[in-house]
Structure 1
Amino acid sequence: MKPQDLHQLAETFVSLLDLPSAVVSGADEIVVCNDSWSKLTGAQPASELASSLRGFSSIEPLIGSLRAGSPTVGAITAVRTPDVATVAESLPVEYTIRWRRLYMSPDDRALALVVLQDHSEVEHLASVISSQRIRINKLMVRQTLIEETERRRLGRALHDVVSQNLGLIRMDVKRLLAKGVDADDLLAIIDRVIKDTRSLSFELSPPVLEDLGVIPALQWLAEHLNKQYRSKIRVEDGGCEPELSSETRTIVFRAVRELAINAAKHAEGSDVVISCSHDDRAVRFEVSDCGPGFDVAATFGGGVGFQRFGLLSVEQQVRGIGGMFELVSNVGEGTRATITVALELEEGGSHDEPDDRRRR
């Protein structure tokens, strides 16, 4: 490759980078640099590297490594103090200076790529990502609460309208039976529909959650799931209802329900224990089983988390209410999922709907 071709290739390469970047020859001369480098350092191609970085402290390791050609990849932290005569903001800024040796040029010069990275930009990006993640978690909580409101509305409709109308029909059918009309089959169908409607109403939104609290709701859940799955599900608690807001109770109950159903499905036939314990500051809900377990890292790593999307949703929603979610499992050793949330008095929270439920 001719020197002019190499120069053009290097110039095109650094122009594609957003961060201040330059290709240097040895540790002496800047072969090419992008606009970001020029704006930051004031240097142009053919300038000396050391002169270009005169505003940066502790660049001796960089210069020495480039001259020695070893190591081929490296990074140092340096502080840049802007020129107070030309820069209004004269506060020092911390940078990471990274370099990578590229290849030998046609005239046997060692070339290296040098990139400057402002720590404040990295911290800002991390802050933006963190705030977006928090926002997503809160939106998921909001979505769950909206869904819960709809569940309650549908549950009340099933109970107040459908179930009561079926009850009236049943009474009419019994009058027909009293008159000697054979309607036993019809009565049996109506009884079955009433039972299924009541079951669906409770499953959509168990009234016991709002009326009595999360512990009685979990006990009802265990009884309900024991009728559906082969696993034996039981609740262990300290006999005291934890002080949780209505929002937190809803999220915790839905999360534990998802975990218990997963355990009943994947650890079929084994014991599933839902436990609750708390101290003065936090309450912990744990769902554990003695099933086959699984490799957590392999399941959630490498972009295959969709296989356990329900668990990912549980984690995001728990984090959305300020809680913590921990999942421990190994192949052949069962699974333990723990939800930890802060104790919170309903009166101290910021909730739209008042809760008149009597504390136990």
Structure 2
Amino acid sequence: MANLDPILVGYKDVYDVALVDEALINLQETYTDYLSGLRIALPYIQNISFCYLNNFSINALTNVIDDRAVIATTIYAPLIFSDLFYGLLSHPSILRDLDNQSEVKKFSSYSIPKSLNELESEENGTKVIRSPRWRPETLLRNSYAAMLTNIANDFLFLHETGHLLHGHLPMRGKILKCFDPLMAFDDITDTEYFCLINHALEYDADWFSIKYLIDFGIRNELLSSKLAGLAETPRFLLRTLVLAVALVMFSGDLSQYATDMYKCKTHPHSYWRFLTLYSTVDTTLDELYPELKPQWKAAFNDVLIDLKYIADIYEPVKRWFSNSSSMGNDLANGHFEKIVTEHSKIADILKNSPYHFLTYQTP
């Protein structure tokens, strides 16, 4: 399969859209339509496109060359997400308050597929791809798994859109020159400072994605038609959004690394991104829906309980959430406060850049 666009030279081959199934084609069309509207917000970009990368992982990228931009996600990420959420909802110990299903365990532990071979099966002498490998027994659980899958796909796409709309690619070099490395962190090396800037841009893209999902979900009563009775309160909506995003974060490649802030030069560890989620949602609700703050605190506690049960069967979550007290300590320690502070500084610079979409908004 050839690389279809020179803007992606150096990356994995672009997946030929003619080879994907209807659902993935529809997803591509939805994201392409959304990106087409961004040309009004970013007049310095003349062409924005979306495509799939032929890679079996949960990954995405944004690139800009001159006046052209592209956002791409891996073609198999939706299949991995589908297997993840339908699989977890098939286990009787996960989200027991959603509804009852039999106590028959289809598996004792869950792991996401690492290759396409794990999703292959044979039907009538022909190899087919099956995702998910398991399905919940009730209609409600199937509907909820579908909702989590959709949110996960949207979060991955909107995170990359945040990089584009906030001007991260053209502004990154300029941001590196804006701070004295010793301003916020004591005894920090240039390499560590470089990591922090990259990490702050990732937090900023997370913020854009989560803010969009919250605002869209609340304004459109995202869950009410699908999950009548459980979706009556914003508490359940916030719980659903954050649970989906958290599982995306902990299912990616970076979750295997140590939580050292400087271990990965390009992205913050999933654990720190999850902890920053609390601040991100808190800030978003302060700005858009302050009346929902009490429900958010309850929803976050719900998510922690959900993750505790998921940790019993899913190793990436177990690794970091089996001890909830240590997470509480991390929320309160100095490093976390510095992460939030540095993100706020860089976000302010981005908002005043000529590449930020707010620059083109008229009062």
Q: TM-score, normalised by structure 2?
A: 0.22
Higher radius of gyration, 1 or 2:
1
Q: Kindly indicate which of the two structures has a greater share of residues assigned to helix.
A: 2
Name the structure, 1 or 2, with higher relative contact order (CA <8 Å, separation 6+): 2
Q: Kindly indicate which of the two structures has a greater share of residues assigned to strand.
A: 1
Q: TM-score, normalised by structure 1?
A: 0.22
